[in-house]
């Protein structure tokens, strides 16, 4: 049975991660599709770089602000190339390069970098507005199954972060953020990792402070969520927490043919 391997990674700066083994990771893992978030490079800056992403077609969606946010999708040249649409049609989100939609033959893939609400929650309303706009966008795509991936900037349940009690109400674990995640899943989607591993404790992001990664004081905020109708085709969901290069690690799913 043919399968499709999809990887997502918040690289916290593509120029930085390329210096930390990113190309070796790409050559070793050979994902069919690699979704990136927080690439932190605009078009003019990228023109000055020479990235060695052999055998992949690159699709970029940069933020207008230099060195900030942005997304990208790398698609293996072995695949039929998708139709790519950048943005949601809402300027305040699209100017930050937060969403890409790729239409493949059998599914839509949405690569998203969700806003961080900031330590003072000053962007909570902005994030919730983004959340709802994205859900509206995804529901419109459902003529085909949908795969949503990216840094959702929320730990959904207490099992998804090391210190839930201390972080209750904090950015990424605020009740309103968690409530939206519940609403999203109830709208017909499956958190692939939690579906396959209901009780497994594993994280995808660690603060750079206080040796958090070494001590594994982390959060699971990077996801692959799929339409319910894809559940039977889900072969694998992994958090690649041994891969370094960013404060996030990559996450992966493998989807089989029908």
- Express each pLDDT in 172-206 by its tens digit: 999 999 999 999 999 999 999 999 999 999 999 99
**257 pLDDT tier (thresholds 50, 70, 90):** confident
Q: Which helix (H) or strand (E) holds 28?
A: helix 22-29
Q: Which of 32, 151, 160, 241 is catalytic?
A: 151
The H or E element that residue 119 is part of is none
pLDDT at 104: 97
96-20-36-164 Cα dihedral, nearest 10 degrees: -80
Integer Cα distance of 148 and 109 in angstroms? 6
**Could you tell me the two tokens for 167?**
């972080």
Q: What 3-state class would DSSP assign to 184?
A: helix
Kindly provide the residue ranges of all beta strands, DSSP E only, lying in 11-98, ordered along the sequence.
Answer: 33-37, 56-61, 71-76, 83-86
Q: How many domains does the chain have?
A: 1
| Residue 248 assigned to a binding site | yes
Residue 1 scores a pLDDT above 70: no
Catalytic residue among 56, 113, 203, 223: 113
Structure tokens at 100: 């890409």
What is the C-alpha separation between 136 and 178, in angstroms, rounded?
Answer: 18
Tell me the C-alpha distance between 61 and 102, whole Å: 12
Which residues form the domain of 36? 3-256
167 marked as binding residue: no
136 is catalytic: no
Tell me the CATH number at 34.
Answer: 3.60.10.10
Residue 110 pLDDT > 90: yes
Q: Is 257 annotated as a binding residue?
A: no
**Annotation-wise, does 247 bind a ligand?**
yes
- 151 is an active site residue: yes
**Residue 129 pLDDT greater than 90, yes or no:** yes
Compute the distance between CA of residue 37 and CA of residue 150 in angstroms, rounded to an integer.
7
């Amino acid at each position: 049975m043919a399968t499709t391997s999809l990887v997502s990674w918040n690289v916290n700066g593509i120029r930085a991660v390329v210096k930390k083994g990113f190309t070796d990771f790409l050559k070793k893992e050979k994902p069919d599709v690699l979704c990136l978030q927080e690439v932190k490079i605009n078009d003019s800056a990228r023109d000055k770089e020479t990235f060695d992403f052999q055998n992949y077609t690159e699709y970029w969606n940069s933020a207008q602000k230099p060195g900030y946010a942005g997304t990208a999708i790398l698609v293996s040249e072995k695949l039929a190339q998708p139709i790519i649409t950048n943005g949601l049609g809402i300027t305040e989100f699209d100017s930050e390069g937060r969403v890409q939609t790729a239409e493949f033959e059998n599914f839509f893939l949405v690569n998203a970098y969700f806003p961080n609400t900031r330590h003072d929650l000053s962007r909570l309303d902005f994030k919730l507005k983004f959340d709802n706009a994205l859900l509206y966008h995804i529901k419109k795509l459902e003529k085909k199954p949908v795969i949503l991936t990216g840094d959702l900037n929320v730990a959904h349940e207490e099992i998804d972060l090391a210190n839930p009690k201390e972080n209750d109400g904090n950015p990424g674990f605020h009740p309103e953020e968690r409530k939206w995640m519940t609403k999203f899943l109830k709208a017909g989607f499956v958190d692939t990792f939690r579906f396959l591993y209901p009780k497994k404790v594993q994280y995808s992001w660690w603060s750079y402070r206080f040796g958090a990664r070494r001590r594994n004081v982390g959060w699971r905020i990077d996801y692959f969520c799929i339409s319910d109708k894809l559940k039977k085709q889900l072969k694998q969901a992994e958090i690649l927490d041994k891969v370094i290069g960013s404060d996030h690690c990559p996450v992966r799913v493998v989807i089989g043919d029908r």
